[in-house]
Amino acid sequence: MFAVHLVSFFFSKLQEDPTKKVDRFLYAMRLNDDQLRDISARFQAEMKKGLSAESNDAAAVKMLPTHVRSTPHGSEKGEFLALDLGGSKFKVLQVKVREGTGIRRGGVEMEEKTYPIPKELLIGRATELFDHVSESLKDFLHEKNISLKEKHPLAFTFSFPCEQSSLNQGSLLNWSKNYRVRGLQKKDVVQALRESIDRTGGMDVEVLAMVNDTVATMITCGFDDHNCEVGLIIGTGTNACYMEELRHVDLVEGDEGRMCVNTEWGAFGDDETLDDYITEFDRDVDAASHNPGKQLFEKMVSGKYLGELVRLVVLKMAKLGKLFDGHVSKALRTKGKITTAQVAAMEEYKDGLKNTKDILTELDLDPSQDDCIAVQHVSTIVSFRSSNLVAAGLAAILTRIKENRNLRTLTTTVGVDGTVYKTHPQYPKRLHKVVRHLLPECHVRFVLSDSGSSKGAAVVAAVAQRLASQRRKVDETLAPFRLSQEQLQLVKARMRAGLKAGLKSKMTSGVKMLPSFVYHTPDGTEHGEYLALDLGGTNFRALLVRFKKGLQQNSRLYHKIYTIPLEIMQGTGEELFDHIAQCVSEFLDYMGMKKARLPAGFTFSFPCEQTALDTGTLVTWTKGYKATDCEGHDVVNMLREAIKRHNEFDLDIVALVNDTVGTMMSCAYEDPQCEIGLIAGTGSNVCYMEEMKNIEKIEQKEGEMEKKEGTPEREGDMQDDGTKGEKKVGDAKIQKMCINTEWGGLGDDGSLDDIITPYDIEVDQNSINTGKQRFEKMTSGMYLGEIVRQVLLDLTRRRLLFKGHVTETLKTPGIFKTEYVSKIESDRLALQQVRTILQQLGLKSTCNDSIIVKEVCGAVSRRAAQMVGAGMAALVDKMRENRGLDHLDITVGVDGALYKLHPHFSIVLQETARDLAPQCNVTFLPSEEGSGKGAALITAVARQKQKM
């Protein structure tokens, strides 16, 4: 029986526990993890709604673009005036930002003066308020002996919701914080300030930036911690901002980089999104406010309302007899009698209960110990709910940043300001703990803003100045790559002159115009088995091609790829051709055809002077090759000698083919109108079908051949039949021959010096063939990445990139490959992925760095595509005029990684050719099987013509 009474006693005591009584009464304010995650998800949805142009008008959370595009990175500098307007007082400041002293060492000096705002101005006209501000600014200049004659940049912290169209332009959406000023809503705040400064007179001030206090807080903290990309205010009001990917900000043009978005999250819930979490006390606070139905989230969490929420809870509990034995004082019934500062005092660790008793006594109440404990617990629940709601909103922002950047974990810093955060003894710890609990995968550091929003506004202006200066210098650097229409016409004219000069027998030209002795394109009747060998880069390819008789455009192809090591590329010629012979032997073994003596075509993608289809003397190596004892020698003969040394197989080498010619033939098999071959890859070159009457070199070569006594007539040699413009090969009359232009040599005579940049000169001087292939070095994949690296290196040395940090990687020639250029320019690639590519190269970049790198890649590759397009325009116009046509329809067969893999190269090339040769309709046909199949086709055509 005693035990039963004992249990009953403890149960009654438990029931009397004042904190349990409050917990039950305020059950709706105690939010569990699931509820917080639900609120966070709702806020994420509201953010998305506010960012979209389609739904922004209806969105409660406005997600206002601030036009702040970068956080500080330590190189900011300058002297600024600052105005900070947002409460019952405002400040005027002089802020000095010193370059290179950002992290941990301060670097910002401030002098300030606070000016009161008379109450009548808070409800007066906008002109009166801003005249007071500008007169105070002038007073500050006088007092601090700051020259009135000099021009002063000014930053303006304006802590009210504004819709900004630029960094220094913004329309007021609505007033808050007891301001009721007339005549400014929906008008440009900065313009109103400028007009007041003009009316005051005697000052030369340029307003560079207007920022919200939340943004200024983020920038202030970002000056000391470069990971800070979120700003948070928890004071009289509450708000948050963060750096959003620009591609998601529909209200601003452009999709590159980031922009700070002012969420204006105080309005979260104004569209009934939070109705199931809003309590009767929140509704009472809202009903008694000056803006019912607005800023509902702010009314649940901010310092302006926390004290009033506590008062309303305590009042109702007293009315219900749960506190003070049901006694309700007049003071307790009076709005505003419990402040947020008092809420903080009641929650102090040591003196909280004493403070609670003193506060309640001042309200003409006679609290018991249990009453004090209960009221203290009410304060705890109300302020804890505030920190929980802020944590849920912050978790939504951090989750969005993490997902935007496709990160598994996010390391970031949140800059915080506001009296609740600064003065409430428990608030920061509670907030930090809940955020980390909701997002364990995020490493979040909280930094308190110690200099207020004024410093932030000045730093925003300094960042804007830095970006403007950087933008101007980057544009100046890239200007020589941006070719005008007049310059492109000049490139076209010079290419045309080079093509013409190269065909002449007695003229020298960088454009060699080498006869290929290919007279016919395929007609679809080709058949049989042919071997094709393809050497043109770091790989060698062996192919077997089978053409089926009577089936036009039908073939089967088998191939294997073999690597050419660098030591072979730059060793002796004998080693190179022995390596090729070994590769052919392995391929024939693989195909089981070692005993067959197959007709073969040899694609050799280097400039050769040919005197017949199966004879060619190497003029010069290109593309990194430097094998000795090859230049000036017949490469077909060198291959035949290597095959003899190998002594395992035999080949009938019918044709020596340049890769451009092979590409043209391969595409002509698909499209009979194809009479041009273009390579836009590691190298740059073009071939085309030229009228025999224009090829003076052939006559010169014939004369030289005739002088050599005893020279036998061979297959493929030509005779003049006396008909103008025609030659004979055997019994066949021909009118055209494919010419391998070797146009990469344009400019070797100085004809491109007026558009060659210092970066091109640097690349040329570091190449193995200085002074040669100047056009190719501006247009081909072998060199574009290196041009980009030279530009990046220069920009970094000038402190316009990577904070001026020149890494060993950036100084390494060849490290920035053209494939990186193609990847970086991909429209599908977000800037975070660009940064990942740069990090792989040891280049630690900011978002703005990534934008500049992408611009550099774009400028270099666009110039390359335009120059190739201008060269193509020169060629097709020449062919049109050759044939006496007003309009030419022609197809270009194209191969090369630059054309096929770069996201914009082919488009720019085609647009340029179309603009510069409007009388030509040029179709570009990518080669699916490359120049190897073309070599086999040339071999097949040659064999077929010999049998006719």
Q: Catalytic residues, which ones?
A: 541, 605, 659
**What tokens does 88 get?**
């019952």
Residue type, 747: G
**Residues 790/859, Cβ–Cβ less than 8 Å:** no
Q: Give the Cα separation of 872 and 499 in Å (integer).
A: 11
Q: Give the Cα separation of 137 and 197 in Å (integer).
A: 9
Q: Give the Cα separation of 744 and 680 in Å (integer).
A: 11
Query: E strands of 188-266, at which residues?
Result: 204-211, 228-234, 238-245, 258-262
Q: Give the Cα separation of 383 and 329 in Å (integer).
A: 24
**Residues 77/223, Cβ–Cβ less than 8 Å:** no
DSSP tag of 628: B
Q: Give the Cα separation of 660 and 931 in Å (integer).
A: 7
612 CB neighbour count, 10 Å cutoff: 18
Q: Give the Cα separation of 594 and 604 in Å (integer).
A: 22
**Residues 61/268, Cβ–Cβ less than 8 Å:** yes
Q: Residue holding tokens 């997902």?
A: 403
Q: Give the Cα separation of 61 and 46 in Å (integer).
A: 6
Q: Give the Cα separation of 447 and 401 in Å (integer).
A: 18
Reduced DSSP (H G I as helix, E B as strand, rest coil) percent helix, strand, coil of the chain, to 5:
45, 20, 35
CA 865 distance to own-chain centroid = 21
Backbone angles phi, psi at 560, to 5 degrees: -140, 150
Q: Are strands 555-563 and 615-618 parallel, antiparallel or unpaired?
A: unpaired
CB-based burial label for 712 (10 Å; 0-12, 13-18, 19+): exposed
Written in H, E and C, the secondary structure of 44-72 is HHHHHHHHCCCCHHHCCCCCEECCCCCCC
**Residues 398/444, Cβ–Cβ less than 8 Å:** yes
Q: Give the Cα separation of 855 and 863 in Å (integer).
A: 12
Q: Are strands 442-448 and 410-417 parallel, antiparallel or unpaired?
A: parallel
**What tokens does 472 get?**
């101007």
Q: Residue holding tokens 């978002």?
A: 847
**What tokens does 381 get?**
């629940």
DSSP tag of 310: H
Per-position b or e across 43-60, b if 16+ CB within 10 A of its CB:
bbebbebbbbeeebeebb
Backbone angles phi, psi at 125, to 5 degrees: -90, 155
Q: What torsion do the CA atoms of 483, 485, 488, 493 make, to the nearest 10 degrees? A: -150
CB-based burial label for 12 (10 Å; 0-12, 13-18, 19+): exposed
**Residues 537/623, Cβ–Cβ less than 8 Å:** yes
**What tokens does 492 get?**
């076209």
Half-sphere exposure of 552 (CA within 13 A, CB side): 9
Q: Give the Cα separation of 194 and 26 in Å (integer).
A: 51
- DSSP for 882-914, written as a single string: HTT-SSEEEEEEEE-HHHHHSTTHHHHHHHHHH
CB-based burial label for 488 (10 Å; 0-12, 13-18, 19+): buried
Q: Give the Cα separation of 499 and 494 in Å (integer).
A: 9
